[in-house]
Structure 1
Amino acid sequence: MTTRRTVRSAALAAVVAAAALSLTGFQSGGASGADRDGAGVRTVAAHHVTASTASTASSASARKASPVRTQKLADGSKAEIYELGAQHYLAKIISRGDVLATLETNDRDAGLDANDMFVVLTLDGQVHSWMGGGHQGPGTFKLAGGWTAKVTKVGELRYRAQILGHGGAVYGTLEANEQDAGVDANGVYIVLSAGGVISAHM
């Protein structure tokens, strides 16, 4: 267990900068079932940043502010959540007093694959984390909530996941380009890593 924790800490510390995502048909904050069937199509984006690459302004704001809450994560670490503005939140992932990573939303969700612990920070400052359940792409995989993901490799450390609904219709595309990507897809949390691992949880 100690060895695994050390590996996870090293992996978190190595993660870098913002990831791009275009996901149509989903919106953060729990859209209705009608949206899942294609109504109200919308494009959203997601990214995450680490403590070492977080913007200077955001880091300074977080240092001055108190967290709005602290939340335990699936692996026993904790997230300190800071509100920096409208739809602008920052979450520090902390273990044994060390900040291992920082996720930041600024008009888009943020996601992270932390060595088999998956974390999504949503636009309204909610944190959802879970362990395991990852599928290694390329391939087609069943996800939580009735979605299907078709994961393809499109380059070095670059994977794309088409999110399919019933009948095989494409409702969105999640892309990790050297960095992980995450989204709240109508209450189903999805993370796609730059290594092609996809996991979802409700």
Structure 2
Amino acid sequence: MRTALRTAIATALVAGVAITAPALAAGAAFAADGPVAVSAPGAKPADTGAKPADTAPATGTGKTADTKGQDTGKDGVFVRNQILPNGATARIVKLGDTHYRAEILKEGQRVGTLEADGHPVAGNDDGTFLVLFETGLTSTWQGNYLPGARPGVYELADGTRVELTLKYGGYDLRTVEKSGEGRVLVHLNGTRKVGVLGKAVLVVEPDGGFAAYINGSTRQAAPKLVETPDTTPAPAPKPTPGPVVTLGECTVQQDIPSVFALLTVTLTNDLEKGPKAVLKDEAGKPVVTLDRDHAADLGQGLTIKGANTTTPQLGQRTQGGDTPYAWTAFPKLPKGCEKDAATPTPAPSTTTPAPAGNTGTTVNNGGQTSVVPKGGVAAGAELAAEGDSTALIAAGAGAASLAAAGLGFVVLRRRSAGARG
């Protein structure tokens, strides 16, 4: 009797372990999804109307536990969970090649859904933006938003400019072109829209307000209005000359803007070799070079003034004829390199100066001479102006005639005295 009783108790214990083990395994598999009811073997489960796949997880998504790449049936393939700047979670699911869904969860409850089917879509939760692309990629940020924007040209954080226009009661966001109307990035038809320009992701609201995010940039800001339809566009900033670089003891160089767009001119001032100007294209390749021996190129509208001085100037113009030049001084030579004057010194005269004493000959600055008669004739003589060789010859001839007349007068007196004696 005792042996039979011990055998019955042992059998019952083994049976209990066999029932409990499957129940614990089931509870561990869905631990994250809440308690699971376990039925005894052979018993039919209670008819609650719920299927196993519909068991509500703790996240409140109505889905099974998220595992990357897991097929969730009609709900597609789970891709990832993404935390948004405001603390919410976006559950990304792939539904097709260009079809993705983002379910927005806050504190375990779904508060919104975005579905990108062939084009990007955006959500705005009080300034927190989420853009879901049809490729499954996302962009999310907080701020950078300008509410109720008015038509005009706006500048983004990276310097890109876009134009917001209002036509036929709807807003368009366009690129800004130098001539003509820009390309349409976003056309609103009453719903929030997404546009992309370079690295900038743009979200435009139905009231014209829009936000911008520069992917991969640490510099972010809301779009800034820089021009309105009733204002004159601000002129583009003019290019400025580069710094003066010293290449040698008396050699300096500087890059300046050309009068032709995108071109530059490299100016070199060298005490020994003189000035040099090199016109370069946008790639830095030389187009034409000016120096002392070749100081002008009319075809390119360039000329050097004062090429033989230490203070030369470069003249530039885009048109020929009487168009005035725009003058730019070459970089100034370092201190101690100004031994040449701005105007070259005249060459010394080769005329030999007159010896000391009164010889009747004077030397003028032009190297020409004039004879000054002596005696009574000299007192009334008038010399020709400097450099007038014809008058000088005439004066010399007159003086010779007068001298001959005086000589004749002396001979005549001697003849008269002889006759009287």
TM range (shorter): 0.5 to 0.7
| Code of the aligned partner of 1:172 | V
Q: Does 1:70 align with 2:70?
A: no
What residue number does 2:164 align with? 151
| Code of the aligned partner of 2:160 | W
What is the root-mean-square deviation in Å for CA atoms of aligned residues? 2.6
Distance 1:110 1:148, change over 3 A: same
Q: Structure 1 regions of 5+ residues with no counterpart? A: 1-60
Could you tell me whether the CA contact under 8 Å between 1:62 and 1:84 is conserved in 2? no
Q: Output the CA distance in 2 between the equivalents of 1:189 and 1:79.
A: 19
- Offset of 1:155 from its aligned partner? 5.9
- Offset of 1:166 from its aligned partner? 7.3
| Code of the aligned partner of 2:116 | T
What residue number does 1:44 align with? none
Q: Does 1:79 align with 2:84?
A: no
SS at match of 1:199: strand
Q: Output the CA distance in 2 between the equivalents of 1:85 and 1:116.
A: 29
SS at match of 1:68: strand
Q: Structure 2 regions of 5+ residues with no counterpart? A: 1-71, 215-421
Could you tell me whether the CA contact under 8 Å between 2:75 and 2:95 is conserved in 1? no
Q: Output the CA distance in 2 between the equivalents of 1:123 and 1:111.
A: 11
Residues 10-56 of structure 1: CA deviation (Å, up to 9, x unaligned):
xxxxxxxxxxxxxxxxxxxxxxxxxxxxxxxxxxxxxxxxxxxxxxx
| Code of the aligned partner of 1:163 | T
Could you tell me whether the CA contact under 8 Å between 2:103 and 2:112 is conserved in 1? yes
Q: Output the CA distance in 2 between the equivalents of 1:161 and 1:96.
A: 36
Q: How many residues align?
A: 141
Q: How does 1:111-150 map to 2 (within 5 A)?
A: 111-135=122-146, 136-138=148-150, 139-150=152-163
- Offset of 1:98 from its aligned partner? 2.4
SS at match of 1:74: coil
What residue number does 1:16 align with? none
- Offset of 1:146 from its aligned partner? 3.5
| Code of the aligned partner of 2:90 | A
Q: What TM-score, normalized to structure 2?
A: 0.30
| Code of the aligned partner of 2:78 | P
What residue number does 1:183 align with? 195
Q: Percent identity?
A: 24
Q: Output the CA distance in 2 between the equivalents of 1:62 and 1:145.
A: 43
Residues 29-87 of structure 1: CA deviation (Å, up to 9, x unaligned):
xxxxxxxxxxxxxxxxxxxxxxxxxxxxxxxx886345210001122111111101111
SS at match of 1:146: coil
Moved more, 65-74 or 144-153: 144-153
Residues 129-158 of structure 1: CA deviation (Å, up to 9, x unaligned):
1111112311321124432222233466x4
Point out the structure with max Rg over C-alpha: 2
Could you tell me whether the CA contact under 8 Å between 2:121 and 2:133 is conserved in 1? yes
Tell me which of the two structures has the higher relative contact order, counting C-alpha pairs closer than 8 angstroms and 6 or more residues apart. Answer: 1
Structure with greater strand percent: 1
Distance 1:140 1:80, change over 3 A: same
Residues 138-181 of structure 1: CA deviation (Å, up to 9, x unaligned):
1321124432222233466x422113267887233312222100
Could you tell me whether the CA contact under 8 Å between 1:148 and 1:165 is conserved in 2? no
Q: Output the CA distance in 2 between the equivalents of 1:121 and 1:68.
A: 13
Q: Output the CA distance in 1 between the equivalents of 2:77 and 2:103.
A: 12
